[in-house]
Amino acid sequence: MLGAAGALIIASSSLPAQHVHHAPAQPDTSMHMPMPDTQPAVRGSARPLGIPMSRAGSGTSWLPDAAPMHADHVMAGGWELMLHYLVFGYYDRQNDADRAKRGDDQAGSANWAMLMASHALAGGRVQLSGMFSAEPWTVGASGYPLLLQSGESRHGLPLHDRQHPHDLFMELAAIYERAVAPNLGVQLYLAPVGEPAIGPVAFPHRPSAANDPFAPLSHHWQDATHITYGTITAAIFSRTWKLEGSIFDGREPDQDRTDFDFRTLDSYAGRLTVNPSPRWSVSASYAYLASPEELHPDDAEHRISASILNTRPFGRRGEWSSALIWGANEHSADHRLSHSALYEMNVDLDGRNALFGRFEYVNKTAEDLALDSLAGRRFDIGSASVGYMREIAGALGSSLGVGGRFAVALVPRSLTPYYGSRTPTGFAVFLRVRPQAMHAGMDMEQHGGMPMPMEGGREQR
Ligand SMILES: [Cu+2]
C-alpha cells in the first residue's frame, strides 16, 4: 500500500534501475495506471537504500516494487503526507435463505482509510501512521454475511458464516528506519495498534485483492493478525531481503470494535521476506500466539505461512497482480496442523476494466463453524470467487468503480443439511471508491506546485 509515488525530487540516478514495463505514449491521467518505470523518492523522507514506496505493504510487510499505488500525496513543511483509502458500498447475499439454514443478506460498507506522515530524522526517516475503519457502524458487530467464514466472536458465541468488521483503530504506529551500511538498513516499528511480522501482506492491502470487498475464508490461517493491540517489530534489511522479529499481543480484537484491547505482549513472530526483482516478493513466517481466542484463552496457536506475491504488466496499459499463500495453524488443544491455501489475482485489463478471482482451500473444525452436533470433526472446504470491476468516473483524485462478485463453495456431504447443497453460492454487487493510481506523470499541483523532474519512459510527455 502506501504507495505514493509521484514525487521524484531526489535524483533518481542514485536509485536502483527499475524498468517494470513501458508506458503508452499518451497516458490518460484520469485512469488507473500501473507503476512508473522509475523509482520514486521524496525529499525529506527518502527511503533508506532507495527502496521504493510502492514496496510498503501492511504493517512492515513488503509488496513487489511493481505493485500499483493508490494514494493522495502532498509535501508540507518537510513532511510527506499520504492518504490511502478504500471504500466499498455493497449488497451481499449469501445462499438462499429459504432453502438453507445458513446464509443471509446485507447492504453495508467495507472500508478503511490511512493517513501517513514521514520526515527525515537522525540520518534516517520516521513515519507515523493511523489507519481507521468505519466498519463497526457500516458492517456492524455481527459482520457481513460470508458463507463458511469463521473467526472472532460476539456475545460469547463464535462468529460463523459472517466476516467480523474491522476495528475503528486498525493501526496506530510509528516506524523509524535508517541505513547503517551501503546495503544494510535497520527498522523499528512501534504500534499500540498494528501488525506483527506474520504472513503475507494483509488482504486489505494486497493489489491482488484490491477490487474484492470481502475477506478470504482463510483469513484466520494467514493474515488475521493485521490488527493487534500492541506490537514491537525490529528488522534488518538490504535492498533484496528483510528479516524481522516481533513481540505482540496475540489476542484477537474483541466484539467492542471501537476501544483498545490492550493486554500483554505475550506472543512472538519472525518473518523473512525476499524481493529478488521488482515484480516479486516472497515471504515465510512463523508465529506463536499465546492466547488468540477470547473464547478459548488456554488454547495457544502456532501459525506458519509462506507467500509469493507478483505484479506484472498486462497488455499495453494493464497490470496483473497475484498472490499464492499457504498458511497453517496448530492449536495446543489438539496438536494437529490445519492447512489453508489461497490463490488470488486481480487483472487490470486496460486501466478501466478489471477481472479478479480468489480460489481457496481451508480445513475448518466443527468448532470454527459452530456446528455443535458435529463436534470433533474437521471439514475440507473449497471456495472459488470471481468478480469484475469497471471504473466509471473519476473526480478530485478519486476513482469510482462498479463491480460484482460471485462465489461458489464446495463442502463435504455432512454439511449439506446446513448449507442446502454441496455447492452453496453467494454474490455481491458493489461500488468502490479509492484514490486514482499514482504514477510519475501525476500533476505537480499535488506537490505544492513544485516542478518534478522525471525520468523514464512514461512521464516524459
Ligand atoms: Cu482482517
Render pLDDT for 157-198 as a digit per residue (tens, 0 to 9).
Answer: 889 999 999 999 999 999 999 999 999 999 999 999 999 999
For residue 54 the three cell numbers come to: 510502492
CA of 407 to the centre of ligand 1 (A): 19
The arithmetic mean of pLDDT across residues 304-313, rounded, is 97
CB 94 within 8 A of CB 442: no
CA of 303 to the centre of ligand 1 (A): 16
For residue 162 the three cell numbers come to: 459472517
CA of 241 to the centre of ligand 1 (A): 26
Separation of alpha carbons 307 and 273, rounded Å: 9
CA of 234 to the centre of ligand 1 (A): 23
pLDDT at 24: 38
Separation of alpha carbons 387 and 354, rounded Å: 8
Helix and strand numbers, DSSP H then E, in the chain: 3, 19
CA of 104 to the centre of ligand 1 (A): 20
Separation of alpha carbons 127 and 117, rounded Å: 6
Amino acid, res. 322: S
Closest to 95 in 3D by CA, of 104, 87, 107: 104
Separation of alpha carbons 329 and 340, rounded Å: 9
CA of 446 to the centre of ligand 1 (A): 31
For residue 237 the three cell numbers come to: 534489511
Kindly indicate the confidence band of residue 426, based on its pLDDT and cuts at 50, 70 and 90: very high
CA of 127 to the centre of ligand 1 (A): 23
Bridge partners, 215 (sequence order): none
CB 348 within 8 A of CB 32: yes
CA of 245 to the centre of ligand 1 (A): 21
CA of 215 to the centre of ligand 1 (A): 7
CA of 211 to the centre of ligand 1 (A): 16
DSSP 70: B
CB 20 within 8 A of CB 280: no
CA of 86 to the centre of ligand 1 (A): 14
pLDDT at 213: 96
CA of 219 to the centre of ligand 1 (A): 7
CA of 83 to the centre of ligand 1 (A): 20
The arithmetic mean of pLDDT across residues 333-353, rounded, is 94
Which of 8-17, 56-65, 348-357 bottoms out in mean pLDDT, i.e. has the lowest? Answer: 8-17
Domains and CATH numbers, the chain: 12-447 (2.40.160.10)
C-alpha R_g of the chain? 21
The pTM of this model reads 0.85
CA of 224 to the centre of ligand 1 (A): 5
For residue 173 the three cell numbers come to: 504506529
Phi, psi of 416 (to 5 degrees): -60, -30
CA of 281 to the centre of ligand 1 (A): 21
Residues in the chain: 461
pLDDT at 439: 59
Residue with cell 499481543: 249
Closest to 90 in 3D by CA, of 439, 460, 421, 402: 402
CA of 145 to the centre of ligand 1 (A): 15
Question: Is a pLDDT exceeding 50 seen at residue 441?
Answer: no
Q: Of all helices (H) and strands (E), which one includes residue 178? A: strand 169-181
Render pLDDT for 256-297 as a digit per residue (tens, 0 to 9).
Answer: 899 898 999 999 999 999 999 999 999 999 999 999 988 889
CA of 76 to the centre of ligand 1 (A): 32
3-state secondary structure of 226: helix
Question: In terms of DSSP bridges, do strands 280-289 and 267-274 run parallel, antiparallel, or are they unpaired?
Answer: antiparallel
CA of 247 to the centre of ligand 1 (A): 19
Separation of alpha carbons 102 and 146, rounded Å: 10
CA of 368 to the centre of ligand 1 (A): 16
Separation of alpha carbons 162 and 426, rounded Å: 12
Phi, psi of 77 (to 5 degrees): 55, 45
Separation of alpha carbons 63 and 61, rounded Å: 7
Separation of alpha carbons 406 and 280, rounded Å: 28
Which of 16-30, 87-101, 190-204, 431-445 bottoms out in mean pLDDT, i.e. has the lowest? Answer: 16-30
CA of 214 to the centre of ligand 1 (A): 10
For residue 209 the three cell numbers come to: 485483492
CA of 254 to the centre of ligand 1 (A): 13
CA of 400 to the centre of ligand 1 (A): 23
Query: Which residues touch 25 (CB under 8 Å, ≥6 apart)?
Result: none
Separation of alpha carbons 244 and 287, rounded Å: 12
DSSP 250: -
CA of 242 to the centre of ligand 1 (A): 24
Closest to 380 in 3D by CA, of 342, 329, 338: 338
- Provide the mean pLDDT of the chain: 86
Query: Which residues touch 38 (CB under 8 Å, ≥6 apart)?
Result: 8, 12, 15, 18, 440, 454, 455, 456, 459
Bridge partners, 350 (sequence order): none
3-state secondary structure of 185: strand
CA of 151 to the centre of ligand 1 (A): 10
Question: Is a pLDDT exceeding 60 seen at residue 459?
Answer: no
The beta strand positions in 292-377, using DSSP E, are: 301-314, 318-331, 337-348, 353-365
CA of 216 to the centre of ligand 1 (A): 9
Report DSSP letters for 190-225, one per residue.
EEEEB--S-SSS-GGG-GGGTT--S--TTHHHHTGG
CA of 226 to the centre of ligand 1 (A): 6
For residue 135 the three cell numbers come to: 466498519
CA of 265 to the centre of ligand 1 (A): 20
pLDDT over 70 for what percent of the chain?
84
CA of 207 to the centre of ligand 1 (A): 15
Render pLDDT for 29-88 as a digit per residue (tens, 0 to 9).
Answer: 333 444 444 444 444 357 899 999 999 999 999 999 999 999 998 999 889 999 999 999
